[in-house]
Amino acid sequence: MPAASGKFITLEGGEGTGKSTQSLLLRTALQQRGLEVVLTREPGGAPGAELIRKLLVEGDQARWDAMTEALLLFAARRTHLRETIMPALKRGDWVICDRFSDSTFAYQGDAGGLGRAVLERLAALALDADSPVPHLTLVLDIPAEAGLARAKLRGGTENRFESLGLAFHQRLRESFLRIAKQEPDRCALIDAAPDPETVAKAIFAAVSSRLGQGWAVTGSGNG
């Protein structure tokens, strides 16, 4: 990736951890520091990828098995990278992405039973060799029961994965915690249980510290 490129931040975690809310708050905080910020998500983030998103997150839980989900996700990710993420980074923008490759390893690899090796082979086939790796991944953590309770409150039609049961979501949480432990240089583990402002402050502190900006952290990070 060119030296002039922007920073790539991903937010990861199970259902109900508050990633979407925190992505919005982080974008505002960075924009207030004068940065150009692209906020995006997976699956989705580009027109074709958003069509694939509907196939994945809506409908009956038995609609796809883990391998079919993975194939759809890599098709969406290839489009997302080429049309949204890589152009933004090359412009020097900062990119905040609500979910990225760690979610695939957690949902389909660990909780879904495919394993990491299969997904790494798919990634090698589907993605370009110069596809970016996040500069920082914020892993939002909350007990699976609490996360599912939060997720049910938000309602909507994107509830296919929420319906997979507590055991699935406990495996999912264990996977994200393992990823954060195995890659401490890239990942920062964030307690997502407190109120959104407290979580936002912890996130902004991690961004400032890990990415070397040295910004003062006040309030939720938006000051």
| pLDDT tens-digit series, residues 118-132 | 999 999 999 999 999
The tally of domains found in the chain comes to 1
Residues 136-165 pLDDT 10s: 999 999 999 999 988 888 776 767 888 788
Query: Residue 39 and residue 98: Cα distance in Å, rounded?
Result: 8
* Res 220: pLDDT: 52
Q: Rounded to 5, what percent of the chain is helix, strand, coil?
A: 55, 10, 35
Phi, psi of 7 (to 5 degrees): -100, 145
Is residue 141 domain-resident?
A: yes
Query: Residue 17 and residue 20: Cα distance in Å, rounded?
Result: 9
Q: Indicate the pTM of the whole model.
A: 0.92
* Res 187: pLDDT: 98
Tell me the mean pLDDT in the region 175-192. Answer: 98
- The percentage of the chain sitting over the pLDDT mark of 70, rounded to a whole number, equals 92
CATH number of domain containing 12: 3.40.50.300
Query: Residue 191 and residue 199: Cα distance in Å, rounded?
Result: 7
Is residue 213 domain-resident?
A: no
Is residue 202 domain-resident?
A: no
Is residue 103 domain-resident?
A: yes
Is residue 184 domain-resident?
A: yes
Is residue 211 domain-resident?
A: no
Helix (H, G, I), strand (E, B) or coil at 94: strand
Is residue 209 domain-resident?
A: no
Tell me the pLDDT of the chain averaged across its residues. 92
Domain range enclosing 100: 8-195
Is residue 215 domain-resident?
A: no
Look at residue 80 and tell me whether its pLDDT is greater than 70. Answer: yes
Question: Which of 23, 29, 18 lies closest to 219, judged by CA?
Answer: 29
